[in-house]
Amino acid sequence: MKNLYPLKFKAQYLDKIWGGLKIKTHLGKDFGNLPNCGESWEISGVQDRVSVLDNGFLAGNTMEELIEIYMGELVGDRVYEKFGVEFPLLIKFIDANDDLSIQVHPDDKLSKKRHQAFGKTEMWYVLQADPGAKLNLGFKEALTKEQYLARFEAGQLMDILNFEEVKPGDVLFMPAGRVHAIGSGILLAEIQQTSDVTYRIYDFDRKDSEGNTRELHTELALDAIDFSVPDSYKTAYETKKNEAVEVVKCEYFTTNVLELDKKLECDIHKLDSFVIYICLEGACELDYSDGVVKLEKGETILVPAVLEQFFINPTTSSVKLLEVHA
Task: Report the pLDDT averaged over residues 125-144.
Answer: 98
Q: How many CB atoms lie within 10 A of CB 149?
A: 14
Strand, helix or coil for residue 62 = strand
The per-residue pLDDT for 42 is 98
With respect to residue 252, please indicate whether it lies within any of the assigned structural domains: yes
Question: What percent of the chain has pLDDT above 90?
Answer: 95
- Alpha carbon distance 151, 146 (integer Å): 9
Give me the pLDDT at residue 122, please: 98
Q: Is the pLDDT of residue 308 over 80?
A: yes
User: Cα dist. 140→62, 155, 223 in Å?
Assistant: 43, 16, 19
Is residue 203, in this structure, part of any structural domain at all?
yes
> Which of 235, 263, 279 is the last residue in one of the domains?
235
220 and 271 assigned to the same domain: no
Q: Which amino acid is at 22?
A: K
Residue after which a domain boundary falls, among 170, 204, 235: 235
With bands split at pLDDT 50, 70 and 90, how would you rate the model's confidence at 214?
confident
- Distance CA(117)–CA(44), nearest Å, equals 15
- Residue 2: pLDDT above 90? no
Same domain, 194 and 222: yes
CA angle 139, 213, 96 (to 5 degrees): 55
pLDDT band for position 307 (cuts 50, 70, 90): very high
Q: How many CB atoms neighbour CB 59 within 10 A?
A: 13
Total domains in the fold of the chain: 2
Question: What tens digit of pLDDT does each residue of 239-266 get?
Answer: 999 999 999 999 999 999 999 999 999 9
Q: Which DSSP category does 207 fall into?
A: B
Do the domain assignments include residue 64?
yes
The answer on pLDDT for 210 being more than 90 is no
Mean pLDDT, residues 205-218:
85
Helix (H, G, I), strand (E, B) or coil at 222: helix
Whether pTM > 0.85 for this model: the answer is yes
200 catalytic residue (yes or no)? yes
Give the pLDDT of residue 71.
98
pLDDT category of residue 213 using cuts at 50, 70 and 90:
confident
Banded model confidence at residue 3, pLDDT cuts 50, 70, 90: very high
User: Which residues does residue 309 pair with via DSSP β-bridges, in sequence order?
Assistant: 267
Domain membership of residue 54 as a residue range = 12-235
Give the mean pLDDT of the chain. 97
Between CA 37 and CA 122 the distance in angstroms is 21
Give yes or no: residues 57 and 204 share one domain: yes
What is the torsional sign of CA 217, 218, 224, 228?
positive
Specify the pLDDT at position 207. Answer: 79
Specify the pLDDT at position 209: 74
> Looking at 114, 178, 200, 206, which residue is catalytic?
200
Q: Output the pLDDT for position 208.
A: 74
Q: Cα(248)–Cα(219) distance, rounded to whole angstroms?
A: 31
Per-residue pLDDT averaged across 145-171, rounded?
A: 97
Rounded (10°) CA dihedral 244, 246, 251, 252: -60
Is 86 found in the same domain as 55?
A: yes
Residues 231 and 156 in one domain: yes
- Residue 1 confidence (pLDDT) above 80: no
Domain holding 306: CATH number?
2.60.120.10
Residue-wise burial string across 272-300, b where 16 or more C-beta atoms lie within 10 A, e elsewhere: bbbbbbbbbebebbbbbeeeebebebbbb
Tens digit of pLDDT for each residue in 15-57?
998 999 999 999 999 999 999 999 999 999 999 999 999 999 9
